[in-house]
Chain A
Amino acid sequence: MIMKEKIIGRVWVITDRDGKPIDDIDTDMIYHNKHLAVVDIGEMAQYAFGNLEGWQDFPKKAERGDILIVGKNFGAGSSRQHAVDCFIALGISAIVGESFGAIYYRNAINAGLPIFVAPNIASSSIRSGDKIEIDTTTGKIFNITRNTELPPAKPMSDVQKKIIEAGGLLELAGKGF
């Protein structure tokens, strides 16, 4: 897989009822522990955000290519990879957040899911339904719908690009790094 220069997609800003970005969304909210025995990635899609107040119907609303915009410390908690894989199964093309749980961040990189740290992104002018463009080299994010520049993301590291280009860590490991 060649790393796309630009990722373009419709966004979901993960907010509460008052429109405030939800911080500290843990892996139990993203993918509840009662479905941990599932090993088939395709089956995981239906459980994404199954334990996050107001977002339980997300798997029905999400479309392939959509982008998630999240607040601080997204994916805190357990090391479960289901919490990344469920979004891959839904076809989510990137996750952009203000910060991530350390293991979650690694899991996303290693699964080949583009993940970006962009301080202040969730509290910016961005709204669910907007179409944005992420420049994977520079980290610049542009809101196509509103024709405005958004708070930029940190550019991807070389390791991250290498893994995405290989199609994931396992594929890279098969080639002996």
Chain B
Amino acid sequence: MAQTIAQKILAAHSGNDTVEVNQIVSVKPDYVLSHDNTAAIRKKFEQIGVKKIFDPNMPVVVLDHTVPPSTAQYANNHKSIREFVEQHKIAHFYDMGRGICHQVLSEEGFAYPGALILGADSHTTTYGAFGAASAGIGRSEVAAIWATGEMWLMVPPTIKIVVNGKMPRGTTSKDLMLHIIGEIGADGALYKSMEFYGSTIENMSIASRMVLSNMAVEAGAKFGIIPPDEKTDDFLKDIARAEYKKVFADEDAQYESEIRYDAEKLVPVVAAPHTVDNVFPASDVDEEKVHQVFLGTCTNGRVEDFHKAAEILAGRKVADGTRLLVFPASSKVLKEIILDGTAEKLIDAGAILMNPGCGPCLGAHEGVLADGEVCVSTANRNFLGRMGNKNAAIYLASPYTAAAAAVAGKIIDPRELL
């Protein structure tokens, strides 16, 4: 039976030769991710009553959400996690400072073609950029996997997304993904796998591909998979945690639908408040004062993103009355942008350089918005109240558009400054 990438990876992890769409299978994931929520998962695990973690090599724990902690409760959660990691000899633990979980797992070689990674974070879909099947699950599910090494999954149908053509100057994979989500809607791929094809995707860097897979979940997708190639191999050289074999879809695999896009028609876009599918060209946004610009997150906190921001910010200044917060996605990214001079350009423009981590994306700390304020963010969600204040508004955009908003103090088409 001809199969999609999702079907092949789920078959391989459930001891089947083939699996059918909508079939429920019991899978053994390669890795299971959790972050600051490990404190809550610990409680659920202890509730099960199992003494030992089934396989201490399976959990990967990264502290990234509220780092460094801003309250005693967050600090106590971190303490509880460290104790738990020690007690159960969890093999893969990254304490605060290493970076955002999805960036860390990628840099540390956990995400490779054919892998199955589940995680207690909805943006676990990010590893699809490496040809892996990866999805967010709930906390109880992570606890159950710690206890048993297994989890049930429904084999999703797959939507084939084909993008051809050269991306116009001033646009990025963020504009492409926001455009796609704007067209198919926040539920356009609900419980489905997305597979990305076409020359545009082939020509993208791994970092740019990670944006597509990361945000697949914003269309409701289970997986957002990009077929692996030489770039994947180059990235994983010397770091892959296992020997892997690239998994590709069969030529006659069954897709639920196929959607085609012409990249040459793309323009810089924003997702306006308060849903990710509320997408407009940046040039169409009415003049509105921007109070904060947030560069970073698991979506756009990588080296190439700061290079793009620096293309606009170098030699310019952040507008009066606008704050620019910069959060590198990992310590590796931070070091690289310091060594190559990018950090200096951003700081000279007036940026506040922050620590690797999730920052204000989830609204807990490090840049919560005031009433009536507007933020342009390179993150993946603009839900009402997402950044800690429901009387504030968030526009999602590419690093170009976000940097341009920092300079102009309002949302403009970034091509005006390129």
**Chain A: interface residue count, which band?**
35 or more
Interface hub of A23, A37, A168, A172 (most chain B Cβ within 10 A): A37
Known contacts A34-B388, A103-B137; A170/B44 CB under 8 A: yes
- Digitize A95-109: 1 where CB-to-B-CB distance is under 8 Å, 0 elsewhere: 000011111011100
In the assembled complex, which residues on chain A have CB atoms less than 8 Å from the CB atom of B386?
28, 33
Q: How far is the CB of B39 from chain A (nearest CB, A)?
A: 8
Contact B139 A81 (CB under 8 A): yes
* Residue in contact with A79 in the complex, picked from B44, B138, B190, B275, CB distance below 8 Å: B138
Q: Which of A1-9, A69-77, A124-132, A133-141 faces chain B?
A: A69-77
Known contacts A28-B383, A34-B363, A101-B220; A77/B140 CB under 8 A: no
Q: How far is the CB of B180 from chain A (nearest CB, A)?
A: 16
Contact A102 B190 (CB under 8 A): yes
In the assembled complex, which residues on chain B have CB atoms less than 8 Å from the CB atom of A174?
48-50, 147
Could you jot down 30 A-B contacts, CB within 8 Å? Answer: A24-B186, A28-B384, A33-B388, A34-B364, A34-B388, A36-B362, A37-B73, A39-B43, A51-B390, A72-B187, A76-B220, A77-B381, A77-B383, A78-B122, A78-B381, A79-B120, A79-B137, A84-B138, A99-B187, A99-B190, A102-B191, A102-B222, A103-B122, A103-B135, A107-B140, A169-B141, A170-B144, A173-B48, A174-B49, A174-B147
- Residue A144 at the chain B interface, CB threshold 8 Å: no
Q: How far is the CB of B48 from chain A (nearest CB, A)?
A: 5
Q: How far is the CB of A126 from chain B (nearest CB, A)?
A: 21
| Interchain CA distance A45-B47 in the complex, whole Å | 20
Q: How far is the CB of A71 from chain B (nearest CB, A)?
A: 10
Contact A29 B383 (CB under 8 A): yes
| Interchain CA distance A166-B22 in the complex, whole Å | 23
In the assembled complex, which residues on chain B have CB atoms less than 8 Å from the CB atom of A147?
none
Q: A34-B388, A37-B73, A102-B191 are in contact. List 13 more A-B contacts (CB 8 A).
A: A33-B363, A51-B384, A76-B186, A76-B187, A79-B121, A79-B122, A84-B138, A99-B187, A102-B220, A102-B221, A102-B222, A159-B152, A169-B141
**Chain B: interface residue count, which band?**
35 or more
Residue in A closest to B188 when the chains form the complex, CB atoms? A73
| Interchain CA distance A101-B137 in the complex, whole Å | 11
In the assembled complex, which residues on chain B have CB atoms less than 8 Å from the CB atom of A33?
362-364, 385-386, 388
Contact B138 A107 (CB under 8 A): yes
Contact B187 A73 (CB under 8 A): yes
- Report, nearest first, the 8 A-B pairs whose CB atoms are least far apart: A73-B187, A173-B144, A107-B138, A102-B191, A79-B136, A28-B383, A79-B122, A174-B48
